[in-house]
């Protein structure tokens, strides 16, 4: 694509109702809560903001999930203050009660046979629980897929996965671009040799992954992007030996999922989902999983990829913007590129430092931005296609998402997609 314009930026980042990107995203099931956030039947309702809409979520007496307009249609009272009881959410003001489908089931302040009982309906959206998360579909129901995408972390037993959630104060696309940008890994996330601070930066770099020294030894990978049914396959090629390359293969899966190459053949896989809250914030879900075995405690919460958050329900990082993400200049001088602890927090700090919506028209892109450009091009193309009546096929083909990421050393003569084919698919 040509230079990224301000109009392109608006189309990519605005996700509210009746925006091109908002309409595209509304064709997909989207995760928005951890299952435990609505673990109790008749428990407290939760305020939810999703794709710029203010909603209320609850689990009813029979365990059914509801997602309604946050404000009662009577006098626009916030239903957060409502009573979740006997298979419905009752407004605390005049007692109007709504079931998970948005039907009015009781109006105690109205005559018994009031026509309002049949005429009034609150906005509601379909909700389901799958893979340890709660998902919503905010589009027209005639286009609703039968299930969420069959990502592997949702298919393994609960003991084989760990999912965390944090608030990120950027547009979702900004976060995804960090996920598909492999060129930063050997720089932003690199450690430094503290014994020789007088040496040039590049001579002091150490890989963040001890078993994968190529990440630090070759900090200028060559990128290759292969389109797929579900999104795209991104190969970052680094020199391993005189006759082989190390390929760090990342999956991008529409509309906002990524999978990170495991640290070794037996290590768990990492992935992310960046669900848009509105134009300027998103939920970052981080997944760790293994198809072969249960995770141990250190793998579930390593404090590096999974960012510690507050326990007040806001899911803000414990160390955020107000604390400069814990930036320690002495650590930065001696031990790491960023001076910030943890891969996840390093990514968040850099992405939030650009502002809630970066002005992409001011960027000076380089060869390492191949995947970033491909991501933007793909989403804008799909949004334009939908405006012209062509629906996004991945939304209704959840089986296409049964893939993995990989890190592998291959002979220089092999194409990465063919050479790693067995590592990139699941049954």
Examine the domain organization and report whether 131 and 176 are in the same domain: no
Residue with tokens 């009746």: 18
Q: Which residues contact 55 (CB under 8 A, 6 or more apart)?
A: 47, 48, 49, 67, 68, 69, 70, 125
260, 291: one domain: yes
Q: How many domains does the chain fold into?
A: 2
Cα–Cα distance between 229 and 324 in angstroms, integer?
A: 40
Q: Same domain for 47 and 104?
A: yes
- Assess whether 202 and 286 both reside in one domain: yes
- Of 112, 136, 160, the position where a domain reaches its end is 136
- Beta strand pairing status for 257-260 and 269-278? antiparallel
Q: Domain check: are 226 and 334 in the same one?
A: yes
CA distances from 331 to 215, 319, 334, 374 (A): 20, 16, 5, 35
- How does pLDDT run along the chain (427 residues), one tens digit per residue? 568 999 999 999 999 999 999 999 999 999 999 999 999 999 999 999 999 999 999 999 999 999 999 999 999 999 999 999 999 999 999 999 999 999 999 999 899 889 888 889 999 999 999 999 999 999 999 999 999 999 999 999 999 999 999 999 999 999 999 999 888 887 898 888 888 888 888 778 776 555 566 666 667 788 899 999 999 999 989 888 889 999 989 999 999 999 988 888 888 999 999 999 999 999 999 999 999 999 998 887 766 889 999 999 999 999 999 999 999 999 999 999 999 999 999 999 999 999 999 999 999 998 889 999 999 999 999 999 999 999 999 999 999 999 999 989 999 999 999 999 999 998 6
Please check whether residues 320 and 345 belong to one and the same domain. yes
166 in the same domain as 132:
no
Residues 168 and 121 in one domain: no
Q: Report if residue 1 sits inside a domain.
A: no
Q: Give the residue numbers spanning the domain of 332.
A: 152-423
Claim to verify: residue 100 and residue 198 sit in the same structural domain = no
Instruction: Output b/e per residue, 128-152; b: 16+ Cβ within 10 A.
Output: eebbbbbbbbbbeeeebbeebbbbb
CATH classification of the domain holding 69: 2.102.10.10
Q: By the 8 A CB rule, do 168 and 351 touch?
A: yes
Residue 10 lies in a domain: no
This prediction has a pTM of: 0.93
């Amino acid at each position: 694509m040509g230079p990224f314009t301000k109009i392109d930026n608006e189309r990519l980042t605005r996700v509210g109702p009746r925006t091109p990107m908002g309409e595209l995203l509304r064709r997909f099931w989207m995760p928005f809560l951890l299952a435990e956030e609505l673990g109790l039947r008749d428990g407290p309702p939760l305020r939810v903001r999703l794709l710029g809409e203010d909603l209320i979520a609850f689990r009813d007496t029979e365990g059914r999930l509801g997602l309604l307009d946050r404000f009662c249609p009577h006098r626009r009272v916030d239903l957060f203050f409502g009573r979740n009881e006997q298979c419905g959410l009752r407004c605390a003001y005049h007692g109007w009660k709504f079931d998970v489908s948005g039907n009015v089931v009781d109006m105690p302040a109205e005559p018994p046979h009031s026509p309002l009982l049949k005429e009034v309906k609150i906005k509601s959206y379909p909700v389901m629980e799958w893979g340890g998360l709660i998902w919503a579909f905010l589009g027209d129901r005639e286009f609703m897929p039968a299930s969420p995408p069959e990502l592997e972390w949702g298919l393994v037993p609960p003991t084989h996965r760990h999912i965390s959630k944090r608030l990120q104060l950027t547009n979702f696309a900004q976060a995804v671009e960090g996920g598909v940008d492999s060129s930063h890994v050997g720089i932003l996330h690199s450690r430094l040799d503290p014994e020789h601070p007088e040496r040039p930066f590049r001579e002091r770099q150490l890989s963040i992954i001890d078993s994968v020294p190529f990440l630090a030894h070759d900090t200028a990978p060559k990128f290759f992007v292969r389109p797929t049914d579900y999104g795209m396959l991104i190969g970052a090629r680094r020199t391993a030996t005189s006759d082989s390359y190390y390929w760090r293969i990342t999956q991008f899966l529409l509309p906002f999922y990524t999978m990170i190459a495991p640290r070794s053949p037996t290590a768990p896989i990492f992935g992310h989902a960046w669900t848009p809250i509105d134009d300027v914030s998103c939920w970052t879900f981080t997944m760790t999983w293994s198809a072969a075995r249960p995770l141990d405690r250190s793998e579930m919460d390593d404090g590096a990829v999974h960012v510690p958050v507050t326990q007040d329900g806001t899911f803000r990082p414990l160390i955020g913007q107000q604390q400069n993400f814990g930036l320690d200049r002495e650590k930065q001088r001696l031990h790491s590129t960023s001076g910030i602890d943890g891969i996840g927090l390093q990514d968040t700090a850099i992405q939030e430092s650009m502002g809630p919506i970066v002005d992409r028209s001011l960027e000076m892109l380089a060869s390492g931005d191949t995947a970033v450009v491909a991501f933007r091009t793909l989403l804008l193309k799909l949004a334009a296609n939908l405006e012209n009546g062509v629906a996004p096929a991945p939304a209704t083909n959840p089986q296409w998402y049964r893939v993995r990421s990989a890190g592998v050393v291959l002979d220089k003569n092999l194409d990465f997609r063919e050479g790693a084919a067995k590592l990139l698919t699941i049954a």
